A and B are shown apart, each in its own frame.
Chain A
Amino acid sequence: SAVISQKPSRDICQRGTSLTIQCQVDSQVTMMFWYRQQPGQSLTLIATANQGSEATYESGFVIDKFPISRPNLTFSTLTVSNMSPEDSSIYLCSARGTRSGNTIYFGEGSWLTVV
């Protein structure tokens, strides 16, 4: 399985600020994804992070609010912009690729609380 490291693991953020979450995978992967899990809810896919090009966003998510970068095969960032309390959530980086086959593995998550 792929080892996926995320940071920060937890943060308390002020309303109106932005925070960038970093995700590092220990091996080359073909696909990286960002999910959100709001309290008591299941996982919602935000976007697929594409290497060297713009991310592919799911319905309800836009680049201005959740800019994503993926400069190489093993690293991606998600920024949560102009945060509001509704953005309080767990943000999960996940990866899928050659070593993991068809399976998706998750990082430990970044727990954001917006006050």
Chain B
Amino acid sequence: QKEVEQNSGPLSVPEGAIASLNCTYSDRGSQSFFWYRQYSGKSPELIMFIYSNGDKEDGRFTAQLNKASQYVSLLIRDSQPSDSATYLCAVTPGGYQKVTFGTGTKLQVIP
């Protein structure tokens, strides 16, 4: 079983819709969760991080964490073509331990 699992996609959504990206992880001791966006040919850039159960909102982005279900998601409201990228979920046990990345979900926002 992979430590961090994501559907590779592509996930296609129309412009203006909500894109929902999902991630599950295997280590119940995981404490910190990150979402990165990676455009083709570029390095990953941090979108959001979440540490506590529940929702965390930042602009059009909402991260949702459910530690009991070992599940973290990213919602993108009012999706734009510029959101088309690969979204990487990353998980760490906390502190200054290594971060494990999922394989990423490719999102396509259709104009």
Question: What total of A-B pairs shows CB separation below 8 Å?
Answer: 46
- Would you call B81 an interface residue if the criterion is a C-beta within 8 Å of the partner chain's C-beta atoms? no
Q: A43-B44, A92-B43, A107-B43 are in contact. Are A102 and B103 (CB under 8 A)?
A: no
Q: A102-B49, A104-B34, A105-B46 are in contact. Are A48 and B98 (CB under 8 A)?
A: yes
B42 to chain A, nearest CB (A): 8
Q: A96-B96, A102-B94 are in contact. Are A42 and B88 (CB under 8 A)?
A: yes
How many Å lie between the Cα of A41 and that of B99 in the bound state? 16
**Are A106's CB and B44's CB within 8 A?**
yes
Residues of A within 8 A of B (CB): 1, 30-31, 33, 41-43, 45, 48, 90, 92, 96, 102-109
- A-B interface, 3 closest residue pairs, ranked by CB to CB distance from nearest: A42-B103, A109-B43, A43-B101
